[in-house]
Structure 1
Amino acid sequence: MNTEKWKECGVSTKFPTYRNSPLVTEHSWQQSKRKDDGAEGLWRIHDGLYDFTEFIDKHPGGSFWIRETQGMDITEAFEAHHLSTTPEKMIHKYKVRDAVQPRIYTLTLHEDGFYRTLKGRVREKLKTIDMRPKRESDLIHLGLLLSTYLFAVASVKYNSLLALILASVALCWTVNVAHNYFHRRDNWQMYTFNLAMLNFCSWRIAHSMSHHIYPNTFYDLELTMFEPFFCWIPSPYMKSKTMRYLSWILEPFVYPIALFLQMATRIFYSLRHTNIMYWHDLLPLSLPLVMYCGSAGSADLLFCIRQWIYLTAIASFAFCVIALHATHHNPESYHEGDKIHDDRDWGLFQVSSVVDRADIKWSRFLVITHFGDHVLHHLFPTLDHGLLPALYPILYETLDQFKAQVLECKNIEHIIGQHKQLLRIEPKQRAPGAVK
């Protein structure tokens, strides 16, 4: 792709270095960002360079967010993760100087643009919004977490296939709901994301800092990590048509081992390169331990471990089925190479990368376990999913003002669409979500 075409269709003027790495992880993505962003070891927000070193341990959201983004351009992440105007006012005392080089990212966040306008309206709405749905989210999460352990114990105590399947589904849903929590300030619920061999720290990088900021682009680490098996970028140079059809055949084999591959990759990278493991990587072992102790001697340890492996494999399959057919990978949504909205507003770009689930909005349980209300979640990731439905009138009003719309479809259409997207090789010449 020539430079002019890249600037027209991409979110950046530079091809990310990490995509040339032989083994892509969240750590290699961070290294790439620090090299490509030109933040000079500091933190870049818009056109300013800031030194937040003294603020790392003072950050209300936890030190992780500041520490792990040092040396990067965090403009969009800063905007999306702070609804209040207070952070914008207080960072001035940490400013070192203006940046010399222009940003490599081409999307905009103008004061009178879509995202800033919407954020201001949401900020006012939150002053009067009913906060009780947050409690419902907490109860759903706790219920699923307890169900996971109870069904897991029952699966070994009674050697029950039904209990094993129910434990697997509960584990998958627990992880999905935990996604509601790791975008925010540190909390205990985020640790439950680790029960399925994932890790909330690595996913805060791969998901919150990468995928959420530039979904379906070359900077989307979640997109890249699946590329050995699945390629959703519409380019004939990325994968041949034959290999794209092969992805359909690979799905039932890749889905059950996806969670195991995540853990294996992180272990391998830690042993060969830089350690990216944490103490809470041991949390998945709590499941076979509880299964063994809860069986009260009716099952031996090896049987419990075998059941746990089966449980995790089923949960892995369910997780991939839900996550990969939830919102993003649809021929109607933006993917790298497609045309972007003319004003290149970051918020409109988020809207164009999502095709929301229209068939689950009636159920808060289905929304939070199946990544529903996804457009609003991408625009305001730190808000509890329970609060998002109240923001739709403001979202629609602002979209009408900026001549854009939310794309929606049913789950079966998402499943069909994901398979069509795997085969799509021609970029779209019209921006997704733009009103005709």
Structure 2
Amino acid sequence: MSKTENRPWMVTGIASKFPTYRKSKFITTYSWQMGKIEDDQAEGLWRIHDNLYDFTEFIDRHPGGSFWIKESQGTDITEAFEAHHISLGPEKMIAKYRVREAKAPRIYNLTIKDGGFYKTLKSRVRTKLKEIDYKPTKISDLIHTGLLAATFALAIGSAYFQSNILGVLAGIALCWNTIAAHNYFHRKDNWRMYTFNLSLMNFYGWRISHALSHHIYPNSLLDLELSMFEPFLCWLPSKYFKTNFQRYFSILAGPVVYMLTFLSQIVVRIAYSLKRHNIMYWHDIIGLSIPLAMLILSDLSLFMVIKKWLFLNLVGSFCFAAIGLNAAHHEPEIYHDGDAVREDRDWGLFQVDTITDRSDLKGSQFLTLTHFGDHALHHLFPTLDHGILPQLYPALYETLSEFKGELREIRYLEHIIGQHKQLLRIKPNKIPPGSGK
């Protein structure tokens, strides 16, 4: 990668330099963090807008849990701070931790300014949250609890009755539980986030790759959820980035990648931990609770239990990736790094420009929670429960209208077709979002 660093396509549209982590031969959440620390040059502190802060003594007192502060040390957390704090309290509170103004300008050319799209929208949402109905949050909890119970019940049943049909259903339940658990790891620490680990993936790593990377810099060279699928799936539109072989091979490789997403992530983390730096945690063992329950509550041998467990895991992985990779971000009409950029570089507009929502999920809280629905609002306000997001659409549409934004919506089949077109696309869009053309 470093040999081609000076090519035009290698300069991301949202930052002034090529991301250091992409020069690494072995890309992980850890290499992404280390690269961001090098690029952001926050001097071992935390940067928010143009100021440096020292949150060291606040790490263990952070209401959202120590993870968010500890794992972002030495980086620019401007967008993450803004997106994760809707109320005005945190903005006032951090003043006492200010060290000084940063020496160098931010490398990111996205903005969050007073009077801009995101600040305006956040102000309206802040007002709206005082009067909305919060009962849907309890429904989200019930749905997640039901999926968790169903995952174990169906997995045990598949072993007890030696049923492949129950194994398939267990895999689907595991997939839905994993997606629903994603609703919870964006927030302050809670027990539900740990259920994400039943998939063999780890919420800790996903808080980095998904919440701090993908959510902040979607569809860009800084998006770890793009780089982790390369070279098998390459969505960025550049003939320099993917060969013709890769373009067409990705269509065939897709189903295999889907099926191995769960297993490949833990294999990579184990290999990286043994060879370079430990990125395994005590809660990785949660992923073994399903086969353990299958072994204890059935008459099958250990070998047969492992076989059936791997089967349901592959089914769950395929469903998870088929839903997730076709959920919102990969479709030729929306922005990917290399496309023409919007004149207004507001971070909130950038989020909307990189998303096409699924119209066929609207109105169903179950489908929204288990299929990454209401995706634009989720990206803009990730700490809010999916159940209450529909009540925020009036504020979103009003603000989009004022700032020349557009929320695209298409059905799932169109997403699948669009995602494959994006894998094939090598010509950047020359008309920027918001141009009115």
Aligned partners of 1:2 and 1:32: how far apart in 2?
15
Output one character per residue of 1:246-304: Cα deviation in whole Å (capped at 9) or x when no partner: 11111222221121110010001111111111001011110011111222xx2222211
What does 1:114-263 correspond to in 2, within 5 Å? 114-263=117-266
Deviation at 1:432, TM superposition (A): 3.6
**1:70-107 alpha-carbon deviations (Å, 9 max, x no partner):** 00000000000000101100101101100010000001
Matched, 1:84 2:62: no
CA shift at 1:332, angstroms?
1.2
Counterpart pick for 2:107 among 90, 104, 107:
104
Q: Does the CA contact (< 8 Å) of 1:405 and 1:434 recur in 2?
A: no
State the distance in 2 between where 1:175 and 1:434 align.
Answer: 38
Distance, in Å, in 2 between the alignment partners of 1:189 and 1:286 is 15
Q: How does 1:7-406 map to 2 (within 5 A)?
A: 10-295=13-298, 298-406=299-407
**Residue range with higher mean Cα deviation, 7-16 or 131-140:** 7-16
Kept after mapping to 2: 8 A contact 1:404/1:434: no
Give 3-state SS (helix, strand or coil) of 2:430's partner.
coil
User: Which stretch has the larger CA shift, 33-42 or 236-245?
Assistant: 236-245
- The answer as to whether partners of 1:195 and 1:283 remain within 8 angstroms in 2 is yes
- 2:401, 2:308 → 1: CA distance? 52
Query: Is contact 1:9-1:338 (8 Å) kept?
Result: no
Distance 1:362 1:151 in 2: 28
Aligned counterparts of 1:2 and 1:310: Cα–Cα separation in 2: 42
| CA shift for structure 1 position 9 | 6.6
| CA distance 1:263–1:434, change in 2 (3 Å) | farther
8 Å Cα contact 2:357/2:376 also seen in 1: yes
> Against the structure 1 CA distance between its residues 186 and 433, is the aligned structure 2 distance closer, same or farther, given a 3 Å change threshold?
farther
- Say whether the 8 Å CA contact 1:176–1:371 is kept in structure 2: yes
**Residue segments in structure 2 that go unaligned for 5+ positions in a row:** none
Distance 1:2 1:313, change over 3 A: closer
SS in 2 for 1:44: strand
**Offset, 1:129:** 0.6
**Aligned CA distance change for structure 1 residues 158 and 2 (closer, same or farther; 3 Å):** closer
The answer to which of 250-259 and 174-183 deviates more is 250-259
Distance 1:341 1:123 in 2: 26
**Inter-partner Cα distance in structure 2 for 1:427 and 1:136:** 42
> Is the CA contact 2:231–2:246 (under 8 Å) kept in the aligned structure 1?
no
SS of equivalent to 1:189:
helix
User: Mind listing any 5+ residue stretches in structure 1 that lack a counterpart?
Assistant: none
Cα drift, residue 166 of structure 1: 0.6
Residue 7 of structure 1, CA deviation: 11
* SS state at 1:425 partner: coil
Equivalents in 2 of 1:117, 1:309: separation in Å? 48
Distance change >3 Å, CA 3–CA 24, structure 1 → 2:
closer
Q: Distance in 1 between matches of 2:10 and 2:117?
A: 21
- Kept after mapping to 1: 8 A contact 2:179/2:369: yes
CA apart distance, 1:333: 1.3
Inter-partner Cα distance in structure 2 for 1:6 and 1:411 = 30
Aligned length: 434
Compared CA separation, residues 287 and 157, structure 1 to 2 (3 A): same
Moved more, 391-400 or 6-15: 6-15
Q: Would you say the 8 A contact 1:191–1:200 is kept in 2?
A: yes
- The separation in 2 between residues aligned to 1:362 and 1:163, in whole angstroms, is 29
Q: 1:121 to 1:77 in 2, by over 3 A?
A: same
Change (3 A) 1:339 1:7: farther
In 2, distance between residues paired with 1:182 and 1:322?
19
Taking structure 1 as the reference length, what is the TM-score of the superposition?
0.97
8 Å CA contact 1:332–1:432 kept in 2: the answer is: no
Q: Scaled by the length of structure 2, what TM-score is found? A: 0.97
Cα distance in 2 for residues equivalent to 1:29 and 1:8: 17
Structure 1 residue 433, shift from structure 2 partner: 5.9
Superposition RMSD in Å = 1.5
Instruction: Kindly indicate whether the alpha-carbon contact (under 8 Å) linking 1:77 and 1:209 is maintained by their aligned counterparts in 2.
Output: yes
> In 1, distance between residues paired with 2:216 and 2:242?
25
Cα separation, 2, equivalents of 1:234 and 1:112? 33
8 A Cα contact 1:335 1:353, kept in partner: yes
Contact 1:9/1:340, CA 8 A, preserved across alignment? no
Runs of 4+ in 1 over 6 A off after TM superposition: 1-9
Distance 2:149 2:47 in 1: 42
